[in-house]
Amino acid sequence: MKPISAVALLFVAVLGILFIYVSMDIPDFGDPCSPANRYVNLHISIDAGADGLEDSLRAGIIPDELSSRIKARGFPSPLETEYTIEEVEGGWDVLIAMEELLYPEPEKYYFLKEEGNKLVVYRYSIPVRWEEKCEEEIGVPNMVTAGLADYRGYDTLGETTVIFTAGIAVILLLRRRGKL
Amino acid sequence: MNGKKGKIWEENVIIETITRLMVPFIQIYALYVMVGTEGAGGGFQGGVVFAASIVLFTVTFGISKGRKRLPESWNAALNSLGLYLYAGVGLLCIVLSLGAAQYLNYAALPLSQIMSPAHTRALMISDVVEVGIGLTVMSIFASIFFDLAWKGEGEKNKNKNKGEKEVQE
């Protein structure tokens, strides 16, 4: 056996082990708690021990301390926009009306959760909106098509351009007649 | 090399009949995949299926007959027409909403005052954007196939002479 094929075998083995590890690490499909699908931790937190925190959240008011910390991180702050709070299992949803042209209704933006002594802020990721509002916003029963042509319209335009460019390149290089 | 008659392909009744029967159905299936958003598929897949029907026709009947069905001028026009449709709808959204909407925000078209914005988006996606993608993909794939497979009228003799020379030498 040549040394280079031994190295190649080693690489293949390492790649195989990596793939097995990655496939074991992927959360189950549709798992509501999988972080990749549901929400992202923003690492903003305040002490949850203060009196009246739950009551104020139930009354629909976010403490000013939390709002200012969110603002300091550059996310849309509850201080400046109108918001509503809904109590759900395990925490609170904060719905914020984003400044969109045709959909001014509030959408799920933050998720507040008590962990230990702290109240932690999570941000809902895009697939949540995709799942919940796709049919209402786009009117297409097929979520994949809606994502392909609307939410990721720029991406698809680029893909079409890539195919077009490939065809033009083949025409320029391989066309064997004088006239185009 | 290609027999005494100099033919590149041989006529075969079975293959020709089957192809004549299959090509229209393949093209209808391609349109079904391309247009409409209810099922699986989309512009890319439908365009490739459509190009496959052209390839099947050309393989069976020879390249000059196949080129007659999809002439070069049409091919060159369709190449860019699909992309123009897609990008043009995006530009139309900006122009017709007087700069209020983003590029490719289909709901900003004035059509949405007749229908609901959601239905405007659905109509634009299924009938303009996907068809544009399909046209580009179909004509580009057909063009690549013809460019790779072409042996033009002028080149035929040249190649023949080359082959004869090689045989003589």
State the ipTM, two decimals: 0.82
What is chain B's pLDDT, residue by residue, as a tens digit (169 residues)? 445 555 556 778 999 999 999 999 999 999 999 987 777 888 899 999 999 999 999 999 988 888 899 998 999 999 999 999 999 998 998 888 887 788 888 888 888 889 888 889 888 898 899 999 999 999 999 999 998 887 655 555 544 544 444 444 3
* A79, A65 contact by CB (below 8 A): no
d(CA B87, CA B96): 14
* Residue A99 near chain B (CB below 8 Å): no
CA-to-CA dists, residue B161 to A50, A157, B158, angstroms: 95, 47, 5
Domain residue ranges in chain A: 39-125, 140-174
Largest separation between any pair of C-alpha atoms in chain A = 84
Contact A160 B132 (CB under 8 A): yes
Domain residue ranges in chain B: 13-150
Element (H, E) at A85: strand A83-88
Residue to test with chain A: of B32, B37, B103, B135, most A Cβ within 10 A: B37
**pTM of the predicted model, to two decimals?**
0.74
Question: Chain A residue with minimal CA distance to B42?
Answer: A145
**Residue A129 banded pLDDT, cuts 50, 70, 90:** confident
Element (H, E) at A107: strand A107-115
Q: What is the mean pLDDT of residues A131-142?
A: 83
Contact B121 A150 (CB under 8 A): yes
Q: What is the mean pLDDT of residues A5-30?
A: 86
Nearest CB to A101 within list B43, B108, B152:
B108
Would you state the pLDDT for residue B1?
Answer: 45
Higher-pLDDT residue of A120, A50? A120
What are the chain A neighbours of B107 within 8 Å (beta carbons)? Answer: 101-102
Distance between A169 CA and the closest CA of chain B, angstroms: 10
Residue to test with chain A: of B64, B92, B129, most A Cβ within 10 A: B129
**SS3 at position A44:** strand
Would you state the pLDDT for residue A65?
Answer: 84
* Residue A17 near chain B (CB below 8 Å): no
Nearest CB to B155 within list A142, A167, A176:
A176
Contact B152 A176 (CB under 8 A): yes
Contact B101 A101 (CB under 8 A): yes
* Residue A136 near chain B (CB below 8 Å): yes
- Concatenated DSSP letters for B18-84? HHHHHHHHHHHHHHHHHS-SSSS--HHHHHHHHHHHHHHHHHHH-HHHHHHHS-HHHHHHHHHHHHH
On the question of pLDDT at A88 being above 80, the answer is yes
* A148, A141 contact by CB (below 8 A): no
Count the Cβ atoms, other than its own, within 10 Å of residue B129.
Answer: 28
* Residue A125 near chain B (CB below 8 Å): no
| pLDDT tens column, B159-169 | 454 444 444 43
d(CA A55, CA B123): 47
